[in-house]
Amino acid sequence: MVSAVTDAHGHGKDRGQDHGHDHHGPAKGWRRWLYATNHKDIGTMYLVFSGLMFFIGGTMALVIRSELFTPGLQFVAPNVFNQMTTMHALIMVFGAVMPAFVGLANWMIPMMIGAPDMALPRMNNWSFWILPAAFSILMSTLFMPGGAPAGGWTMYPPLVLQTGDAFPFLIFSVHLMGLSSIMGAINVIVTIINMRTPEMSLLKMPMFVWTWLITAYLLIAVMPVLAGAVTMLLTDQFFGTSFFLAAGGGDPVMFQHIFWFFGHPEVYIMILPAFGVVSEIIPTFARKPLFGHDSMVYAASSIAFLSFIVWAHHMFTVGMPLTGQLFFMFATMLIAVPTGVKVFNWTATMWKGAMTFETPMLFSLAFLFLFTIGGFSGLMLAVVSSDIQYHDSYFVVAHFHYVLVPGSIFGIMAAVYYWLPKWTGHMYNEKLGQVHFWLSTIFVNVTFFPMHFLGLAGMPRRIPDYSTQFTDFNSIASIGAIGFGISQLLFVYIVVQCVRKRGSRASDTVWENPKGLEWTVPSPAPYHTFTQPPHVGAGAAFS
């Protein structure tokens, strides 16, 4: 460890000249970004893009919550409301959460494994720059005759085939998002497998790298299946096939099977990197090594495997034989075992630790607690007999928002607070960070907890108007949503201030004795790091 520190400090600045390259600084102006091949630049672009999408998708969520503040139709027509639910989901899933994790992977994976850059930097450039194109196409549909897709993000036929002019644009943008994700995933795997510093064996890799490796394999396995499913929709609509059209011998239910064969691994694609993030943060602020590093790896791998055999729990109500329902119910419940291993390992990491509660730790603790609530409501939904009652109700909305907002998004925010000083060389404003944390945590619960009650009381999801007995909880949820949305402006302010170097200077280690190679390089991390493979030091640091 010590040798790595001196290595990076002593020669980091002039290593570029050692190799006789004199163009190693970033290019000037727009070329730096459009032609970017540096993993840090591309990571930054991913994160900024994801933030932008987070606010666009969030604005759509606020349209939804404003409409639902009181019963009756206030602000938008039902068709616009449906467009908002559909686009909110597509933008948040493919535009905000996934690119944010790819951005973190770009920034951190090379620095955590001692690699100079990602393995395939030009493909890296492509996989980012496809995204703005994909989302421009998707969002342009808002201005088309017939409006944006309104049949739900799951794109079930035959409803989705009634989308107007937007339909082919929807399909094409999903294709592009898939391409981007697959290229990103290939890059992550090749980087991790081929570019680790020689002393780092697979089981010595930090957890964030491990969870991303597993996520990348999931992406390669399922994003093409989604591409296949939407291609079938396209050919059904325009080329006379009948994959999902009953008249021609097809079956619309088959789409649901194929979609959720993609869709369930997809939910782990969105949570596994967050597992990795909190597995980095909790040991730092508990000042103890991660409890059960290897069991965490096996648990994440088990979750990834199980995610392929549980898809039909999304569609218990299509009518399926009892044996099928039982299989998918028990397989789903089985996922609680490796997930429980992780939750208990995080808890055990904190046991008797010398804990402090800086913002990244607060977000990680909220993640641990609130994600587990989402996990428990997931177990309730796994029970076939009760799922028939909960299906397509607000209970489902409450469940997946609990795992996605205080789950994935809190994981992303924790990661940003944790590594931002390393990226910028300056501390963020800790006091404001904590204010942001408490506002977010309170409002996220005010928003989504009442939705459990709404769902259990029978309020269906995806409706712009509702029966009057649901008014109170809907109003509370809407107030929470507006509060949560405004709180995120504070997040932007904190990040921008930190990027503008308004905070105190960050030391190279930033936190008190954190483990990992990323803390052995200077703060801010130089444009090029680890052009020579570093020494890992004592293996104990990572296990």
Partner 1 sequence: MPGANSLALRLLAMALGMFGFGFLVLPPLYSVFCEITGLGGKTNQTAAVVAEAPDQGRSVKLEFVTAVNAYAPWEFHAGSDGMEITPGALYDTTFVAKNLANRSKIAQAVPSVAPQQAAKYFKKLECFCFTTQEFAAGEVKQMPVRFIVDSDLPAHIDTITLSYTFFDTERVSDASADLSHETAHERHSIH
**Closer by beta carbon to partner 1, 325 or else 447:** 325
**Closer by beta carbon to partner 1, 29 or else 319:** 319
- Nearest-CA neighbor of 216 among 259, 257, 265, 263? 265
Respond yes or no: is residue 180 known to be catalytic: yes
Told to check if 261 binds partner 1 by CB under 8 A, we report: yes
460 beta partners: 393
User: Exposure of 33 by Cβ count < 10 A (0-12 exposed, 13-18 middle, 19+ buried)?
Assistant: middle
Told to check if 251 binds partner 1 by CB under 8 A, we report: yes
426 beta partners: 505
Respond yes or no: is residue 88 known to be catalytic: yes
- Nearest-CA neighbor of 388 among 445, 325, 335, 444? 325
Q: C-beta of 230: minimal distance to partner 1 in Å?
A: 10
The two tokens of residue 181 are 């994700």
Respond yes or no: is residue 153 known to be catalytic: yes
Told to check if 171 binds partner 1 by CB under 8 A, we report: no
Q: C-beta of 445: minimal distance to partner 1 in Å?
A: 38
Q: Which of 47, 113, 166, 258 binds partner 1 (CB under 8 A)?
A: 258
Respond yes or no: is residue 314 known to be catalytic: yes
393 beta partners: 460
What residues from 324 to 343 belong to the interface with partner 1 (CB under 8 A)? 324
- Nearest-CA neighbor of 282 among 370, 368, 371, 406? 368
Q: Which of 5, 148, 174, 229 binds partner 1 (CB under 8 A)?
A: 229
The two tokens of residue 255 are 């789409």
Which residue shows structure tokens 């998002």? 177
- Nearest-CA neighbor of 420 among 305, 277, 537, 299? 277
Respond yes or no: is residue 266 known to be catalytic: yes
Respond yes or no: is residue 339 known to be catalytic: yes
What residues from 371 to 390 belong to the interface with partner 1 (CB under 8 A)? none
505 beta partners: 426
* Cα Rg, the chain, nearest whole Å: 23
- How far is CA 50 from each of CA 6, 79, 189, 408, rounded to the nearest angstrom? 35, 27, 22, 13
Q: Which of 54, 153, 210, 243 binds partner 1 (CB under 8 A)?
A: 243
The string over 163-184, giving b where at least 16 C-beta atoms fall within 10 Å of a residue's C-beta and e elsewhere, is beebbebbbbbbbbbbbbbbbb
Told to check if 2 binds partner 1 by CB under 8 A, we report: no
Respond yes or no: is residue 515 known to be catalytic: no
Told to check if 113 binds partner 1 by CB under 8 A, we report: no
Number of residues that bind partner 1 (CB under 8 A): 45
Q: C-beta of 189: minimal distance to partner 1 in Å?
A: 6
Stretches 34-42, 182-190, 300-308, 392-400: which one binds partner 1 (CB under 8 A)? 182-190
Q: Pick the catalytic residue: 313, 401, 436, 452?
A: 313
The two tokens of residue 525 are 């991390």
User: 3-state DSSP call for residue 426?
Assistant: strand
Told to check if 161 binds partner 1 by CB under 8 A, we report: yes
Q: Which of 228, 483, 485, 522 binds partner 1 (CB under 8 A)?
A: 228
Respond yes or no: is residue 436 known to be catalytic: no
Stretches 137-145, 220-228, 372-380, 387-395: which one binds partner 1 (CB under 8 A)? 220-228
Respond yes or no: is residue 313 known to be catalytic: yes
In angstroms, the CA 24 to CA 528 distance is: 8
- Nearest-CA neighbor of 299 among 330, 322, 268? 268
Told to check if 309 binds partner 1 by CB under 8 A, we report: no
In angstroms, the CA 394 to CA 450 distance is: 9
Interface residues with partner 1 (CB under 8 A) are 119-120, 123, 158, 161-162, 182, 185-186, 189-190, 193-195, 220-229, 231-232, 237, 240, 243, 245-248, 250-251, 253-254, 257-258, 261-262, 319-321, 324
Q: Which residues are catalytic?
A: 88, 117, 153, 180-181, 264, 266, 268, 279, 313-314, 339, 342, 461
